[in-house]
Amino acid sequence: MKRNFCVSLMVFLWIFLLHGCVPLIVGGAAAGAGAGTYFYINGELKTDYQASFDEVWKACEKTVAGMRGTDVIPEKEIARGTINAVINDEKVKFEITYKSKNVTTVAIRVGLLGNRLSSQLLHDKIAENLGRP
């Protein structure tokens, strides 16, 4: 009896721990069908942009300015940079990383735990700013 209870408890815990992985995999596949592939991992939404590091950096700055970000702290290095800001009373962190000549990765975290919809909105704004001349 005790053994059955332990096995049942372990199976229940295993299912509970894996429950969040299925939507992540399905969501990643659904997002991959669009213009770019987005990965939502540990509260960060990441994607690659087909543009140089400097172009993406400027697009991120325009996004923060367009969303009326406050307490903006940009930290730019040679191949990577971060922009921390407060947008709509939420802390937002942009991590911009050089990947290759015309490929740059941007990871966005909104709030302490992450907010996928808000991060997606910011990625959409970055893509829109990259499309402008």
Kindly report the CATH number assigned to the domain that includes residue 46.
3.30.310.80
Total count of domains within the chain: 2
- Per the CB < 8 A criterion, the answer to whether 104 and 48 are in contact is yes
Q: What's the pLDDT score for residue 132?
A: 59
Whether residues 4 and 42 fall in one domain: no
Whether residues 55 and 43 fall in one domain: yes
Q: What's the pLDDT score for residue 45?
A: 95
Whether residues 55 and 93 fall in one domain: yes
pTM, full prediction: 0.70
Q: What's the pLDDT score for residue 6?
A: 53
Domain limits for position 6: 1-34
pLDDT tens, residue order, the chain (133 aa): 666 665 565 555 555 555 555 444 444 433 332 347 898 999 999 999 999 999 999 999 999 999 999 999 999 999 999 999 999 999 999 999 999 999 999 999 999 999 999 999 999 999 999 985 4
Whether residues 24 and 5 fall in one domain: yes
Q: 10 Å Cβ neighbour count for 123?
A: 21
Q: Are strands 44-49 and 39-41 parallel, antiparallel or unpaired?
A: antiparallel
